[in-house]
């Protein structure tokens, strides 16, 4: 007796489902395979680790620079609200507005501070590791 159309469709679905499961297992196994363990995929020495370490350090330094600029700008705003003018130098902010004046993590220099000639506004800035200027201003 020939299979009924319903049995034929179920058989085809079972085959398709089996093939899909097999392919999914194959892809999963491929993705889990550690290509780094094969010698011909490895790079000799540790330049890659050094590059990652340098990139991470640059990112961390830039993040600290940005945080410092925001912190200094906030202290300048507080100073301005209280004194109705900008300070002549960042050192004026310590210790009342900042415990200590933040410095660049790499050069250890103070950040660039430029008060306007009328002492009613300012700009504080730094140069990031990619050479771009990061700046905040007020009031």
- At 19-50, the pLDDT tens digits run 888 888 777 776 766 555 555 455 555 555 56
123 compared with 27, residue with greater pLDDT: 123
Reported confidence tier of residue 79, pLDDT bands at 50, 70, 90: very high
Q: Give pLDDT, residue 37.
A: 53
**How far apart (Å, rounded) are the C-alpha atoms in residues 90 and 113?**
7
Q: Across residues 61-75, what is the average pLDDT?
A: 93
**Does residue 53 register a pLDDT over 60?**
yes
DSSP 34: -
Residue 29 contacts by C-beta under 8 Å, 6 or more apart in sequence?
Answer: none
User: In the numeric block, which tokens belong to residue 124?
Assistant: 């504080």
Q: Across residues 110-138, what is the average pLDDT?
A: 93
Reported confidence tier of residue 17, pLDDT bands at 50, 70, 90: confident
| Residue 75 contacts residue 101 (beta carbons within 8 Å) | no
Q: Give pLDDT, residue 50.
A: 61
Coil vs helix vs strand at 130? coil
User: In the numeric block, which tokens belong to residue 136?
Assistant: 């905040």
**How far apart (Å, rounded) are the C-alpha atoms in residues 32 and 7?**
37
**What are the pLDDT digits (tens) for 95-119?**
999 999 999 998 999 999 999 999 9
**How far apart (Å, rounded) are the C-alpha atoms in residues 84 and 119?**
9
Q: Give pLDDT, residue 43.
A: 54
Q: Give pLDDT, residue 12.
A: 85
CA 13, distance to chain mean position in Å, is 48
CA 123, distance to chain mean position in Å, is 24
| Residue 87 contacts residue 93 (beta carbons within 8 Å) | yes
CA 74, distance to chain mean position in Å, is 22
Could you tell me the residue ranges of all domains in the chain?
Answer: 5-36, 69-138
């Amino acid at each position: 007796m020939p299979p009924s159309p319903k049995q034929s469709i179920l058989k085809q679905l079972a085959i398709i489902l089996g093939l899909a499961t097999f392919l999914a297992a194959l892809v999963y196994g491929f993705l889990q395979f550690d290509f780094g363990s094969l010698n011909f995929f490895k790079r000799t020495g540790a330049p890659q680790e050094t590059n990652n370490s340098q990139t991470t350090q640059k990112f961390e330094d830039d993040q600290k620079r940005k945080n410092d600029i925001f912190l200094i700008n906030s202290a300048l705003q507080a100073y301005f609200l209280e004194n109705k003018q900008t300070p002549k130098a960042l050192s004026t902010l310590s210790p009342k507005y900042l415990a200590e004046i933040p410095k660049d993590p790499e050069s250890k220099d103070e950040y660039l501070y430029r008060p306007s000639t009328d002492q009613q506004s300012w700009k504080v800035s730094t140069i990031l590791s990619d050479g771009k200027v990061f700046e905040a201003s007020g009031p």
